[in-house]
Amino acid sequence: MRLLEYQAKELFKEFGIRIPPSLASKDIEQGRKDAKELGFPFVIKIQVPVGGRGKAGGIQKCHNEDEFELKYPQVLGLTIKGEKARAILLEKMAEIKKELYLSLFLNRGKRCYTIIASADGGVEIESDKSQIIREVGLGKVEEDVARDVAKEMKLEGKSADDLVEILQKLSKLTIEKETELVEINPLVILDDDSLMALDGKVITDDNSNFRHEELQKYQEKSEIEERAEKSGFSLVELDGNIAVVGNGAGLVMSTLDMLSDNGGKPACFLDVGGGATPESVYEALTLISKMDKVKGILVNLYGGIVKTTIVASAFVKAYEKNLIDLPVFTRLKGVESDKAKEMLKDTKTKMFDTVEQAINAAVLGIKK
């Protein structure tokens, strides 16, 4: 789960990591109350689960009521990389001496948590050459390690002490909340040499959600995604018009790639999952039928754990109940595929021997 900035900062606060005074709102009425409580001037920050907010105009300084009335709706109305504003954060500005970078992330290759720190914080951490990197096993950061990082960042006095404290608090947050990434970018040195987190990014391990009832309030899912999760399949909505259905994440991704290569535009990624039943696949088709943008369905199945007949029987039922009236292009292979083909023979499903043929027919058959 990727938390929004204001949610990440709520966690920072809970763990004692200093943040500027700020208030989050979802509409201008609440925003006006927040503005009054906070007092001008402040920054208006869009809350979206993607980066690049500043460049897209999603972070605006605001000095008075007139500016507020103009800029709040402007920022709230922005769409950044396809993501609409989930909330608006009003935040007091800080007097900054220097920007730093600090994160603790799950290093997949090394199979351990890793600290990344940099004395030159700011915008593009990936391009930054002067990174300080420390592997810390399951995420515990001992004081001497933190002290070492501060030293390498050339921090002294109050700033160094603050960094040691913040790094250990990040470590506690990482372990207790089971995060994949906690990032402060920028972490800033204020005039009095103390440190403060100006931004926050937290990504938690979705598979540990069952242990974190307290994080559920941050879960932002569309109705469709929620229903998909409940039925045990994965669905990612995309911008195109051809719904792509298959079994196994790899196979469905591969089908998306081939469809895109041939000029088709996927409307969604739908992996029926290893535990698919006729009911769950029927539910998947119900969700697809609710997406107006979908003009056709491309099905690519390699029967293994999920027998192709399970999927076929859901399609047969969907036709019987008039749930779908879209052209369907199907490639079936693997366990019980002959039987599945027989079941679908008299339906509107067009059957193909190879996925290439199914894709070509789908691209040709579904115009825009």
Partner 1 sequence: MTYIFDLLRGKPEDSDYKKKPVIVQGMTGKFGSEHTKSMIEYGTNIAAGVVPGKGGQKFEGVPIFETVKEAVDATGTKISIMFVPAKFFLGAAKEALEAGIKLLVAIPEHVPVRDTMELLELAKKNDAIIIGPNTPGVIIPELIKIGIMPAIPFKAGNIVVLSKSGTLLYEISDALSEGGFGQAITLGIGGDPINGTRLIDAFDMVKDIPDLVGMVIVGEIGGDAEEVLAQQIIDSNFKKPVVAYIAGRSAPKEKRMGHAGAIVYGNYGSAESKVLMFNKANIPVAKRPIEVPILLAGKLQQSND
Q: Which residues bind partner 1 (CB under 8 A)?
A: 2, 49-50, 106, 108-109, 111-112, 126, 138, 175, 178, 180-181, 205-208, 210-211, 234, 236, 238, 246-254, 256-261, 266, 269, 271, 274-275, 302-305, 333-335, 354, 356
Residue 345 CB-density burial (10 A; 0-12 exposed, 13-18 middle, 19+ buried): exposed
Tokens of 21: 């005074």
Decide whether 161 or 336 has the Cβ nearer to partner 1: 336
Decide whether 28 or 335 has the Cβ nearer to partner 1: 335
Instruction: Name 103's Cβ contacts closer than 8 Å, sequence gap at least 6.
Output: 115, 116, 117, 125, 181, 182, 183, 184, 185
Q: Which residues pair with residue 116 across a beta bridge?
A: 103, 133
CB 81 within 8 A of CB 58: no
Q: How far is the CB of 175 from partner 1 (least distance, A)?
A: 8
Which DSSP string do the residues of 275-329 spell out, in sequence order? T--HHHHHHHHHHHHH-TT--EEEEEEEESSS-HHHHHHHHHHHHHTT---S-EE
Tokens of 5: 């900035």
Decide whether 124 or 192 has the Cβ nearer to partner 1: 124
Q: Which residues pair with residue 106 across a beta bridge?
A: 113
Decide whether 31 or 186 has the Cβ nearer to partner 1: 186
Decide whether 193 or 205 has the Cβ nearer to partner 1: 205
Q: How far is the CB of 247 from partner 1 (least distance, A)?
A: 6
Q: How far is the CB of 356 from partner 1 (least distance, A)?
A: 7
State whether residue 252 is helix, strand or coil.
Answer: helix
**Active site residues per annotation:** 101, 183
Q: How far is the CB of 252 from partner 1 (least distance, A)?
A: 6
Q: How far is the CB of 15 from partner 1 (least distance, A)?
A: 17
d(CA 365, CA 329): 9
